Structure 1
Amino acid sequence: TTPLIVASSHGRVDAVDRLIAAGAEVNAKSDDGWTPLFTAASGGHSEVVDRLLAARAAINAAAKNGATPLYMAAQKGHVAVMDRLMAAGADVESKYQDGTTPLIVASSHGRVDAVDRLIAAGAEVNAKSDDGWTPLFTAASGGHSEVVDRLLAARAAINAAAKNGATPLYMAAQKGHVAVMDRLMAAGADVESKYQDGTTPLIVA
């Protein structure tokens, strides 16, 4: 970890300004592959993000686990940072090591504003992780009904199943998220969809 990485992670704008002016490497990486921009985005420090972008920080530089600055901002719901990164050309389809995209992770954490911005930026609403999880699947599993509304409005595939056969409705039923179940069934979700062991949403509920 360099002084610029740690100053960025704590949102110390004046320190960042001085370090950049002194020639600090803006794309230096920690052992985990974190750059100053990555730590600033993760912490929601939009002013620091501005400074680093102005200093030509690599916008899509990923950590060792595949996470990018935009992925971290989406996960934590830092929409001011997301706006800056996307305006500067951040890749909305970047993938974490498990194949999740910024929209999948924002959906899983119930970050409504982040989901709105990613959809508006053209993020793939039916992107799938390595396990076959879509944004709608993770939102339904987490009980995030507002996010489910946004994804359905954006024409998310309602019965898209994970590799194990579970659908968004199956996950909502398993976890007792009735508000999500109501939305999915009203939109035409298959109530007889089957998990890999043959169970249906009714059986698992």
Structure 2
Amino acid sequence: MGQSLDVLSTCDGAAATEGPKATRPRGANPPAGNASATWDEDVVAVCSALEEGVTTVVASANRGGARISDEVLLNHELLQYARQGNLRGVSEALDKGAWTETRRPLVMKPQKPENARKSGLDDTVNLGMTPIMFASQKGSLDCVKRLIQARAEVNAVEEDGWSALHFASKEGQLQVCKSLLNARADAELKNIDDHTPFDVAEDAHFNLSLRSLLQA
């Protein structure tokens, strides 16, 4: 049985309401001449994408009186907890059967690999971030380790080719990077801008530290 749509919350915990939110694609450059544009805008854009998904589904389902399945809600919770760096929430969601590779479950139907093969699809659409990407961006080492323990795909990429290691490197999260590398994350994986995780690291000292992890 699904939960009523009225109680769904967005990234910041606020109740979902109708109305689109402006988003900026991952990896897009800030507007020219806007000196105040920062990486924080990308984080907001990601959150907005999740909120927009909640909003769209809530608006549509409320009109039709539909309910969201427990599976979809559970996957949505896993994404939210991973984004918050909430280890307890991530663990509980995983223990209940949440899928480690879920992406925007309120917008698209979850498509696990075995189901994709049966339906003739070659692969899951790389639209949106997976829980381990969110946890890596947040810098939550405990959540990343828990997701790795649950066999999360460390080399999964989103639509702009960013992996969990890209996100962790961009945010200067060295211990998270170490954990991902130990789990066989690909340090040479390139995004659509042809950038590896080393390339997106903004601090030179951090970049050297990250490279030293590969030589250890």
SS at match of 2:94: helix
Q: Which residue of 1 aligns with 2:152?
A: 123
Structure 1: runs of 5+ lacking an equivalent? 1-24, 40-56, 189-205
Q: 1:171 is matched with which residue?
A: 200
Q: Aligned pair 1:75/2:83, yes or no?
A: yes
Hey, what's the Cα distance between the residues in 1 that align with 2:185 and 2:9?
33
Match of 1:61 among 73, 93, 112: 73
Higher relative contact order (CA 8 A, sep 6+): 2
- 1:148–1:160: structure 2 CA closer, same or farther, 3 Å change rule? same
Structure having the higher Rg: 1
CA distance in 2, matches of 1:177, 1:151: 20
SS at match of 2:72: coil
Question: Equivalent residue for 2:209?
Answer: 182
Which residue matches 1:85? 93
Counterparts of 1:76 and 1:127, CA distance in 2: 20
Cα pair 1:99 1:129 within 8 Å, conserved: yes
Give TM-score scaled by structure 1 length.
Answer: 0.60
Change (3 A) 1:150 1:156: same
Contact 2:178 2:213 in 1 (8 A): no
1:105 is aligned to 134
Please give the per-residue CA displacement for 1:65-105, whole angstroms capped at 9, x wherever unaligned. xx710000011111111111111100110013752100011
Among all aligned residue pairs of Structure 1 and Structure 2, give the percentage whose two residues are the same amino acid.
28
Query: Following TM superposition, where does structure 1 have runs of at least 4 consecutive aligned residues deviating by more than 4 angstroms?
Result: none
The answer to whether the 8 A contact 1:86-1:92 is kept is yes
Deviations 1:108-167 (A, max 9, x none): 110111000000000000000000000001100110001001001001001101011011
Tell me the distance in 2 between the aligned counterparts of 1:117 and 1:180: 25
Query: Kindly tell me: are residues 109 and 35 of structure 1, through their superposed partners in 2, closer, same or farther at Cα, counting changes over 3 Å?
Result: closer
Structure 2 residue aligned with 1:34: 8
CA distance in 1, matches of 2:142, 2:71: 21
RMSD: 2.8
Segments of 5+ residues of structure 2 without an aligned counterpart are: 14-68, 108-126
Shift of the alpha carbon at 1:182? 1.9
Write out per-residue CA displacement over residues 159-204 of structure 1, whole angstroms, 9 at most, x where no aligned residue: 10101101111111xx11523432235416xxxxxxxxxxxxxxxx
Q: What is the TM-score normalised by the length of structure 2?
A: 0.58
Q: Which moved more, 1:153-162 or 1:94-103?
A: 94-103
Q: Deviation of residue 59 (structure 1)?
A: 3.8
